[in-house]
Amino acid sequence: MSNFLLKSKKLVPVKLLEQYKARLVKMRKDQVLFEEGNPATDYFQVEEGQVRMYILNHEGQEFTQGIFHAGESFGEPPLLGNFLYPATAIALTPGNVWRLPKPDFLDLLKNHFDLHLKLDHVLCNRLQYKSMILTEISSHTPEHRLTTMLTYLKSKLAGSTDKPIIIPYTRQQLADMTSLRVETVIRTVKKMEREGSLTLQGHKILF
């Protein structure tokens, strides 16, 4: 996702999506693109805007599984594995998404093995991320969870730089990513600032 806000490379090039008759669909903020339990019928790729996938735990708390930006796809495992969506996808911002029906998407993968391998790489990275998150939220302190998440986001946004960067997420979004309450994230961020683990610039976190 090397700077997945500004420099995302499209997983499937637009010309190829158009060739296979994908539709570019407008989305409004807070629009649900699919819900947990829906059958998977289309390949989705963000053209503009941001999409969040989340699940609800037994207490009704939302847990963010991923935030997807321009050029990134989402919701592929149920499409390829023939099972219902285990999560809900909702638009964080207005924008546009490409929708390609499953039969056409499978034809695209059959005819373009390089994209098949690229998708495999993306899915393996997501599995690695989910494995990391499951380990973190099951056995570590809020500070450790938040530090791990900020380190991960920084590596995705800016690579291996040692310079602090602005983390483009709200306290609530960080809470949803780490299965913490927003009040806990706020307290932990202030504690980490006092300890010098991060810097605050107004409401923005520099890490």
Encoding tokens for residue 92?
């964080």
Residue 175 sits in the same domain as residue 97: no
Q: For residue 149, give the CATH number of its domain.
A: 1.10.10.10
Is residue 71 situated within a structural domain? yes
**89 and 159 within one domain:** no
Q: How far, in whole angstroms, is CA 50 from its chain's centroid?
A: 9
Q: Are residues 18 and 86 in the same domain?
A: yes
CA–CA distance, 172 with 181 (Å, rounded to integer): 8
Domain of 92?
14-133
Do 39 and 124 fall within a single domain? yes
Considering the domain architecture, whether residues 121 and 45 belong to the same structural domain is answered as yes
Q: Are strands 62-68 and 32-34 parallel, antiparallel or unpaired?
A: unpaired
Question: Quick one: which of 37, 126, 32, 41 has its CA closest to 87?
Answer: 37
pLDDT band at 29 (very low <50, low <70, confident <90, very high): very high
How do residues 68-119 score in pLDDT, each as one tens digit? 999 999 999 999 999 999 999 999 999 999 999 999 999 999 999 999 999 9
Residues 179, 200, single domain; the answer is: yes
Last residue of a domain, one of 74, 98, 133: 133
Average pLDDT of the chain, as a whole number: 91
Are 127 and 148 within one domain? no
| Cβ contact 186:143 at 8 Å | no
Are residues 183 and 120 both part of a single domain?
no
| Number of domains comprising the chain | 2
Do 126 and 159 lie in a common domain?
A: no
Tell whether 186 and 120 lie within a shared domain: no
Q: Which two tokens stand for residue 163?
A: 């310079």
pTM of the model: 0.81
Q: Give the span between the Cα atoms of 109 and 184, in whole angstroms.
A: 44
Contact of 119 with 76, CB cutoff 8 Å: yes
Judged against a pLDDT cut of 60, whether residue 149 lies above it is answered with yes
23 belongs to a structural domain: yes
Do 91 and 127 share a domain, yes or no? yes
pLDDT, tens only, 131-145: 888 887 777 899 999
Integer Cα distance of 144 and 138 in angstroms = 11
Could you tell me if 120 and 46 lie in one domain?
Answer: yes
3-state secondary structure of 53: strand
Which CATH number goes with the domain that contains 63?
2.60.120.10
In a domain, 4, yes or no: no
